[in-house]
Structure 1
Amino acid sequence: MFINAFSSEENISDLKVAKVAVAVRDMKRLSQYERMLSLSGVANCVFYGDYLYVKGDVDKAIDILTRGGAIMSKTLLRDESLLSQVEPKVTRMLIYSALENNVFQERNWIAPLRKTKRAIPKADVASDNLMVELKDEIIVLFGLKYMIEFRSTGQPLLWLDMYAPVWSRSEARRLSRKELTEELKALYVKKAMLPPHKRHEKIKSILDELFEGDVIKVTFCDGETLNFSKEHVHIFELEEPASPTESFSFMKLGEPAVRFRYGGSYEPRRILRLKPYSYYVIKEIPVKAIVGASEKEDFITFFRYLNNGYSGDYMRWPGFYQVMGAHLILDEDVKEIGGDNLSEYEDALLEMFNEAEENSVIFVIVPENFRFYRKIKALSLQRKRRIQILKTSTLRKEPLEFTLINVANAVYAKAEGTPWLLENPLSATKGLFVGISFHLDHKSKDIYYGAAEVFDNRGYFLKCLVRTYRLPKPAKKVRGLYIPEKEMEDLVMHLIKEYRPRMLIIHKSAKIHEDEKRALENIRVKNGIDYCLVHIENSNPYRIYVPRDQPNYMPLRGTIIFDKEKRNRTIMLTTGQAIGDRGDIKTITKIGSPKPLEINIEENKTPHNVREISEQILALTKLDWNTTNIAVRTPITIKYSNKAARLAPYLMGGEKLLSINDIRDLL
């Protein structure tokens, strides 16, 4: 097995850097000159602390910066150091400077793209290998994401992954996701979403275009170089004898099983045969519907298939009652509205909310580019009624039998049904699993946090809380999204008083802040409750490939990478191929390449080790009742806390605590 990392042949302790104490006159101008000096080949420069670090012509760089008004004329101190003796952040920034300006720019690439470490070829000179046309001057450019990481040996590791944005030639800019039509999305999937083996080959061909020979050569302005191998870093299975020089190893975790009414299974779609966990508890589910006038016939057809059954190319959907044991009772008065005006939907929903029974579900069929999803979802939460929003394309989405089973599962859950639970407990100790996510309102700069899903050790949902909090001005200066110490204590103590757990495991979508650590430690000292703080990072540069004897280089879900130097970190795949009930391999990720989660345990006072914490996270991906896929990428603790945080601005203001009574409200 191998990962998308490339090792260096040099040690940074062999490289020199000049360290100059300077007085900054204009920080913005200094940043601009740092890039200009690198592009012109004078020097790679980084200002950090009170020092300017220079690799190149020091005297010329200082002269240009002084005459340009970036720094004062007098330098206070000048020294020469080794890169291994300076802060890792400085070394990383110097390598990025050389890579972006001395490599990418020289080859007609654009790097970095804004503040992100991404590079793409210029559209007007990109080779056929580096682009593919979608339609009408809209193309996909094949570039790179890059990240430098240092190992304890002093050798840097270069992580590289493919980056493929949609680009408008006529406007000379990247198109955002919101600007992509359904046609462009379909073309992108067909032409640019590459499976692992093709992704691997594309990265190799990009490197061959950028770098001659067998190495990735990064040259600094002073002539010193860093050479990275073009061969991916290979890793060995944990049970096998590994070389002491190897930094990574892997193992495969078992597929978590779920419990239905009549047995357990690895595959949620076995609900067809094994029946939901709460089978026959619900007798009837009243259903109402709001549709566009032109979509009424399609909805009626879809609902008939949902209720009575449908035979597709892959399987047969037997019908709602045959699977769930409950009758769907559709109100014949299907509400038709004329367009996608928000007020029409709100008026229709308010009317239906007043008429709907307690466990009813209201279907809302919306246009493809509907802009008011969160507003009408928030309205349903405020009125304590559950809605099932479907895009018009979903009514015809193939394979239709899979669409039907997923929608049926969600509708059953929203009517207070329990489709399945975990077969095995997450922990032998009575514990709570809490997800915390954040939403930053870029216009108001308000931060909404505290969207917390709470589950017991059997994966049974208990409660969801949403709290909004506007950070005070001093706290807003602290980088990162976090809950201040007092608010974190209040949130956790509320849970402790209600459920009296012996252990808390908190999953957070952002890095753990010192305020949060202090809050949990205070609670541990006062109440004797163990805790674990886990940062689950969705956005990362990592990819995992298996040898050629596996189909399409596709790795198994549950593959976990251990880092010998960072023992509290794992890289884990939650999509990819999966093991079914009969031991057969099921390829889940048919389009594109599976992307792992990065799991960082930042504080751990529980008896669980990093493998056990990762196993719990894998199991929590299996509790998403919004789909019957065997493989879901994100654990429900993060997925639904994120949904709740994004809904928070539409639900309340101030610092009021709002209880979303059930995860079913967020499906």
Structure 2
Amino acid sequence: MQGRVETFLSALKDGLGQKSPAFESGFPKVFGLMKLDLDLCPIELKGVDISEVERVYRDAISESLQKNTDVDAAIVVLDEPHAFLPDIQSPYLRCKALLMTLGIPVQSVRSTTLSQQPYGLGYTLRNIAVSLYAKLEGTPWTVAQDRVIADELVIGIGFAELSGSRVSEKQRHVGITTVFSGDGTYVLGNVSRECAYSEYPDVVRTSMLSVLKEVKRTNNWQPGDKIRVIFHAHRPLRRIDVASIVFECMREVGSEQDIELAFVTVTHDHPFFLIDKNDNGVPIKKGSTIRKGVYAPKRGTIARLGRHTRLLAVNAGFLIKRPETPLPTPLLIKLHEDSTFGDVDYIAEQVLKFTSLSWRSTLPVGTPVTIFYSERIAELLGRLRGVPNWSTTALDVKLKHSRWFL
């Protein structure tokens, strides 16, 4: 496989030229990097039992890092059968845990990707390049924002159950906070300590205060500055008013500033649909009479349900994969009644912009990254928790500003 890996890395570095318009120039030129050095770390798996594969990967990586500690990111190439092993035997997950503990973000590539034809490989390389650049703390692109105010933050609040136990006393939960500037630039991420559900309000308060104080210091808020903070949550929590907690934290940290606050839930879990009977969809391919997305409203369509509630269409046209795909479910956006910033249409438009910032690919996703990132973090934390000697410490220190979870 080494020859195919070398060819793949060469294409990532130098591009595919006219073979693929999606990735002509290569990773360094696309993102304006001065230099890109790639060091190979061969893994010898001949005769290795499948239960030992992850150990061989880890040993090879450890040996390589002893020779060269100046590593910014790692690409782990997986043979197809090894990509679907149980988590405890997964070379991807075990290597990710090892490297992230050292503050090194990881990008995985499956062996089937190496065999793609140049035209299709270009699109894959483009997505890998975007994701890798974001993991290296780069910002592939941003969106327009309101420049009238001194600072605007959009903060995603996530919640993850890690234990899976049905006994409530044994369940362990973490709070996940992702902070963005108003233009979509990723500022930082925070994972709280594990706790019981009854402890969660205090953990959220402690975590949020820490995050807001750091942002205030980093962004150099001055007395009298007008600061707008919009919180996104996927769903309300049982018997916990998260909005009241974060509003209280923000007023404490921003006591010298002119603060505007909004708390919105953003979810697909609702009974509503949007239908545009005048929309004929788009052809499934050039010249085809078969169409997909029929009756799906244009992306960005906003419908008012009430004073504080909007429906937002985020999936339509070319984003719908097949003609038999059901009508997309819009996002339901609901503003908390205690919010002091009440422009729901502005918030809905901002949610739409944030669906185009996933940085796992160049295509939009179905939820804003404030929610999407929290879901990705929760999924990976649940898996990494079962890895021996895994610690989340690096996530709040060395990888605080990296999109390690992409």
Q: TM-score range by the shorter chain?
A: 0.7 to 0.9
Letter in 2 for 1:557: R
Question: How much does 1:385 deviate?
Answer: 0.9
In the alignment, the residues of structure 1 paired with residue 187 and residue 333 of structure 2 have an alpha-carbon distance, to the nearest angstrom, of 24
TM-score (norm. length: structure 2): 0.75
Structure 2 residue aligned with 1:664: 403
In the alignment, the residues of structure 1 paired with residue 240 and residue 163 of structure 2 have an alpha-carbon distance, to the nearest angstrom, of 24
Q: Is the 8 A contact 2:192 2:203 kept in 1?
A: no
In the alignment, the residues of structure 2 paired with residue 522 and residue 317 of structure 1 have an alpha-carbon distance, to the nearest angstrom, of 50
In the alignment, the residues of structure 1 paired with residue 190 and residue 146 of structure 2 have an alpha-carbon distance, to the nearest angstrom, of 23
In the alignment, the residues of structure 2 paired with residue 468 and residue 419 of structure 1 have an alpha-carbon distance, to the nearest angstrom, of 30
Structure 1 residue aligned with 2:39: 331
Structure 1 residue aligned with 2:313: 573
Matched, 1:435 2:184: no
Deviation per residue, 1:477-528 (Å, 9 max, x gap): xxxxxx7332222222212322236333221222155442332343466555
Question: Is the alpha carbon distance of 1:549 and 1:644 closer, same or farther for their aligned partners in structure 2, counting shifts above 3 Å?
Answer: closer
Of 320, 327, 349 in structure 2, the residue corresponding to residue 615 of structure 1 is 349
TM alignment of 1:228-267, pairs within 5 A? none
Structure 2 residue aligned with 1:632: 365
Structure 1 residue aligned with 2:320: 589
TM alignment of 1:91-240, pairs within 5 A? none
Question: Is the alpha carbon distance of 1:462 and 1:356 closer, same or farther for their aligned partners in structure 2, counting shifts above 3 Å?
Answer: farther
Structure 2 residue aligned with 1:646: 379
Q: Which runs of 5+ in 1 are unaligned?
A: 1-294, 476-482, 578-586
Higher percent of residues as strand: 1
In the alignment, the residues of structure 2 paired with residue 615 and residue 556 of structure 1 have an alpha-carbon distance, to the nearest angstrom, of 14
Q: Is the 8 A contact 2:268 2:332 kept in 1?
A: yes
Deviation per residue, 1:230-278 (Å, 9 max, x gap): xxxxxxxxxxxxxxxxxxxxxxxxxxxxxxxxxxxxxxxxxxxxxxxxx
- Return the structure number with greater relative CO, CA threshold 8 A, min gap 6: 2
In the alignment, the residues of structure 2 paired with residue 520 and residue 355 of structure 1 have an alpha-carbon distance, to the nearest angstrom, of 46
Question: How much does 1:549 deviate?
Answer: 4.8
Question: Is the alpha carbon distance of 1:439 and 1:344 closer, same or farther for their aligned partners in structure 2, counting shifts above 3 Å?
Answer: farther
Provide the aligned length of Structure 1 versus Structure 2.
352
Deviation per residue, 1:200-248 (Å, 9 max, x gap): xxxxxxxxxxxxxxxxxxxxxxxxxxxxxxxxxxxxxxxxxxxxxxxxx
Local SS of the residue matching 1:335: coil
Matched, 1:420 2:149: no
TM-score (norm. length: structure 1): 0.47
Question: How much does 1:388 deviate?
Answer: 1.0
TM alignment of 1:197-596, pairs within 5 A? 295-310=1-16, 311-312=18-19, 315=22, 317-326=24-33, 327-338=35-46, 341-366=53-78, 367=80, 368-371=83-86, 372=90, 373-396=92-115, 399-425=120-146, 428=149, 430-444=151-165, 445-471=170-196, 475=198, 484-500=200-216, 502-512=227-237, 514-523=240-249, 526=252, 527-528=254-255, 529-551=259-281, 552=292, 553=294, 554-564=296-306, 567-577=307-317, 587-591=318-322, 592-593=325-326, 594-596=328-330
Of 301, 315, 336 in structure 2, the residue corresponding to residue 602 of structure 1 is 336
Q: Is the 8 A contact 2:161 2:173 kept in 1?
A: yes
Question: Is the alpha carbon distance of 1:301 and 1:385 closer, same or farther for their aligned partners in structure 2, counting shifts above 3 Å?
Answer: same
Question: How much does 1:324 deviate?
Answer: 2.8
Higher percent of residues as helix: 2
Question: How much does 1:397 deviate?
Answer: 5.0
Local SS of the residue matching 1:546: coil
Identity percentage over the alignment? 26
In the alignment, the residues of structure 2 paired with residue 655 and residue 332 of structure 1 have an alpha-carbon distance, to the nearest angstrom, of 28
Deviation per residue, 1:11-57 (Å, 9 max, x gap): xxxxxxxxxxxxxxxxxxxxxxxxxxxxxxxxxxxxxxxxxxxxxxx
Q: Which runs of 5+ in 2 are unaligned?
A: 222-226, 282-291
